[in-house]
Amino acid sequence: MKYYAAYGSNLNTKQMARRCPRAKPIGTALLKGWKLSFKGSHSGFYLSIDRKKGWSVPLGIWQIDDFDEKALDRYEGYPNFYQKFMLPINIHCFDGSKSLEQVLIYALPSTARYGLPTGSYVGTCVDGYEDFGFDLKYLEDAFNASRRNK
């Protein structure tokens, strides 16, 4: 089993149940020193993260297996669109425990351009933020920053 950190549409528990039926939400984390924004290409704009001092990104942590990881790779367009890497993350588990783990996370290259997402994509992300109890201000800030930078 592995841990996967979601910060966008994969926070949506209904979507993840279809995409990765064996995945289980196990907790949350706050990724400090990273900033959320909408980035992409001609195919569309999606949430991604970039290193940025003074910012943070809420994460939903999922326990996944190899089957789920392959499904995520396909969905995220890895390795041609999103990149993936491991980060040490302090997880606040839903059972009340805390654990430092190496966690899989996907992000677009820092060179990806800013842009605005579709309303449907934003709605899926909002539902996911509500599923995990996250403050929607993070999404609002990402949207406003991407609008200014596009």
- 8 appears as a binding residue in the annotation: yes
Take residue 111 and report the two structure tokens written for it.
């060179």
- 6 appears as a binding residue in the annotation: yes
Q: Which residues are catalytic?
A: 76
> Tokens 């539902």 — which residue?
127
Least Cα distance to 25 among 35, 14, 33, 36 occurs for 14
Beta bridge partners of 149: none
- Note whether 20 and 62 are within 8 A (CB): yes
The span from the CA of 139 to the CA of 57, in Å, is 10
- 119 appears as a binding residue in the annotation: no
- 7 appears as a binding residue in the annotation: yes
- 112 appears as a binding residue in the annotation: no
> In this structure, which amino acid lies at residue 52?
K
The span from the CA of 16 to the CA of 39, in Å, is 21
- 4 appears as a binding residue in the annotation: yes
Which residue numbers belong to the known binding site for substrate? Answer: 4-9
Which residue numbers belong to the known binding site? Answer: 4-9
